[in-house]
Amino acid sequence: MIDAETETRIVEKAEYIDEAVSVLVLKQSLNRETYLNEREQRAIVEREFQTAIEACLDIAELLLTVTENDVPATNAETFARLDDRGILSAETAETMQDAAGFRNVLAHQYGHDIDDKQVYWHLQHDLLVRYLFARDPL
């Protein structure tokens, strides 16, 4: 059973994900050339992706602390364990494992080490995935 404090934290993080996705939806209107040439726009998109995925990870860890004593060593394992426990569908868990890897790239690389074309692709094609994590009907 989830206590009131944990439930509040989960709701707050889900609301943050909604806000981040709203910002990213606005940025989808950027054409590829503008996105690739405007550092400020890239920085906004990268940060919103990173923090939205981190909020998903926080929710996943909070859910696991309700059912387990330990949290997995890696972010990808965290989502896999939610699938094992029947909390997430296998498809969403796998997608979120990929998102965790994407988050690591954004968090630990910068400048020319980030593939801006790949980030733009995620912006145009992959937003719904992050949003659905918070609403996975299982």
Residues in the chain: 138
Task: Report pLDDT digits (tens) over 102-130.
Answer: 999 999 987 789 999 999 999 998 876 65
pLDDT of residue 54: 94
Q: DSSP string covering 58-110, please?
A: HHHHHHHHHH-S---SSHHHHHHHHHHTTSS-HHHHHHHHHHHHHHHHHHH--
pLDDT of residue 131: 54
Per-residue pLDDT at 137 exceeds 60:
no
Domains of the chain by residue range: 4-133
Written out in words, the top-level CATH class of the domain with range 4-133 is mainly alpha
> What is the pTM (predicted TM-score) of this model?
0.89
Mean pLDDT of 15-33: 95
Task: Report pLDDT digits (tens) over 48-100.
Answer: 999 999 999 999 999 998 887 788 999 999 999 999 988 888 988 998 999 99
